[in-house]
Structure 1
Amino acid sequence: MDSATHLAPHRARWWHRLDDGRLQCDLCPRDCKLGEGQRGACFVRQNLGGGMVLTTYGRSSGFCVDPIEKKPLNHFLPGSRVLSFGTAGCNLMCKFCQNWDISKARDMDRLTDRASPDGIAGAAAASGCRSVAFTYNDPVIFAEYAMDVADACHERGLRTVAVTAGYMHAGPRRAFYAKMDAANVDLKAFTEGFYARLSAAHLQPVLDTLQYLRHETDTWLEITTLLIPGQNDSSEELAALSAWIARELGPDVPLHFTAFHPDYKMTDLPRTPTSTLTRAREIARAAGLRYVYTGNVHDATGGTTHCPGCQAALIVRDWYRIERNRLTAAGRCPDCGTKIPGHFETTALPFGNRRIPVTIPPDD
């Protein structure tokens, strides 16, 4: 087969037939009910021939080797390289989407990169990656593909990373995260109004995912909140968000506050000032969170991992680049011996802030 458009439809999981003959998708809280030929809100799950199919299985919008810090993950194999890829579509409708050309895509023919799960794992290993990340668009909607890739990665000793909004039903969530070694979950705000108005979604399912990951899995968890001026950056909301994380997830879950830039349907707002990120970090630290970072800006203080025991600077970062890493191989502070939570290993030459496109060889 020479074209991605000739791939046979892949049968999807997590759906059931309704009394009126339509199919209901049970993957996420949208519960899309589809007649023959119809696609869900994500656009990639379709009622075809009386069964649900995943139309983007084996097809990607592109592959790149990134620094793991770009996901962002600061406590998971820092300094290592990760093979990143996504497909198309999304089950949220964020007006501020920073990857809207991929996540809002409705043209399946643009997915010209074909790759089998084993091909992806092999390319990651050949590129010197320690992990593969499902990112750019939300892997929830291509869960079957991501899970098969994860199996192939684990067979080669590679880790897997989900970058996601966490909008998922409980059953699929259990199956999906059983395959994931790390996740960065996008907690977009801490009000139902924001989720309803700007993402056409709900807050509680995301909170459920966060609690599930923290308390019922071994998946390493970090959280990102994109701060949008005037929308989710008030001191009151940031205090409530931080207090919930500290209380429900614990003080050791890393939290990233990242800067918004005008995009997609929200081009009339300004970029997030660095001062807003600094204020958010101070609020979260005052709430008891030990590892709070700023992103999408040059901020050495906000990018650095500090020891909560003696306050020593342990991993100094400038954006995605590690300038210095003083952690021991066991992930401890060399000054006071405090154990830093996460997955660490010594990296002689951190990958830095490069981004290298990768071509996956076709199957024989």
Structure 2
Amino acid sequence: MDHATINKDSVLYTLLKQLSPGHNSLECLTCGACTSRCTWFEGEGGPLPRQIIRMAALGLDEQLVNSHMLWDCLICNRCTQVCPMGICMDKIVAKARSLAIADEKIPEDLKQGIKNRMEVGDVNGLSKEEFVETVEWVSEEFADEINDPKAQIPHDQKGAKLLYLPNPRELGVNLLQLTAMAKLFYAIKEPWTMSARHSDVTNWGYFVGKDDITKKMALMVVEPAEELGIETLVLGECGHGYHVLKYLLEDIIGRKPKFEVVSMPELVVQYARKGILKFDPGVHPYKIAYHDPCNISRKSGGYDAPRQLLSMVCQGVVELTPNREDAICCGGGGGMLQDGNSTKKRMITGKPKADQIKAASLPHLATACLSCYRQIEELSAHYNLGIKIHTVAYLASESLIM
């Protein structure tokens, strides 16, 4: 790529040269294989990952930033699966989004969410006082539901073995999800807690490619968790939260945390195998298709636990085609779902997933990410798919034998 047409004064070109092999667009062979896997290309013919890679490799910083392709990319890395050089699109897009000249292009909702998270610990702006009030109210409802006045959803309990970090939707529009998770913790019978200091699992610094913000947000989770003395950090059902806090965490903070990190489905499978949790699959007398969230499956290798748990709580798991590392993105990744103005675009990027679900002809589908859940729910309404969407852990709670 050492060619006269390259703008070697480009900030992006300099950043890319520092990346390790396999993460560097300068290794691109221009074969176009990436295009065949792009959800945007399948949906409407663009933008193409090949275009992003070539513009980055040539140092065309301003043209790339102003093309809107950076924020249309879902950073799902499906294109990486077929790249003969193994080029990681998410690394390239992250570097481009991190450019100072790209700051004004960051969607306003993402900017506000980052500001909220940095200031109060919650992307939706839920203050510590509001967090405590919400958790205590849900705790009362939970105690009534299981008919145990002593049952509670604890917060900020030092010495607890498990710390639960929910998806922010569990503290707002999906309060029933939080109640369901509390039911599973109740049955596990281990001391657990939540934290008012870092009340959700998200890290939107990852979406905007800002390493400093990503690290600060990660430490906002790690440091209070270590102060509480927990053994295991349990992640709510969130794709990018799983990828950042389980797969990337040590690289982000520069050390190993003093606790184990697992997702809620992984934790439930562990305790089911110990015989502590038992389920009645007759509660869900049907087979369920499983959607692989890109950040959990393709980008982090978390293929098995959700499938194992589903097999315990229903009549069987049906695989969509393709699946696992080749799975089709829901169409809402890369920060697009968090942009309130993205609905029209998401229905385009989600069409390949909608077509896949329609071809499966099953009335039930589960996923291990609440963002995928929301996107597929909207796809179902838009394309008249007529399916019922579930999260894996919620299904487990429904079929739990108390």
Q: Aligning the two structures, in what range does the TM-score lie when normalised by the shorter sequence?
A: 0.3 to 0.5
Q: Which has the higher helix share?
A: 2
Q: Which has the higher strand share?
A: 1
TM-score norm. by structure 1 comes to 0.35
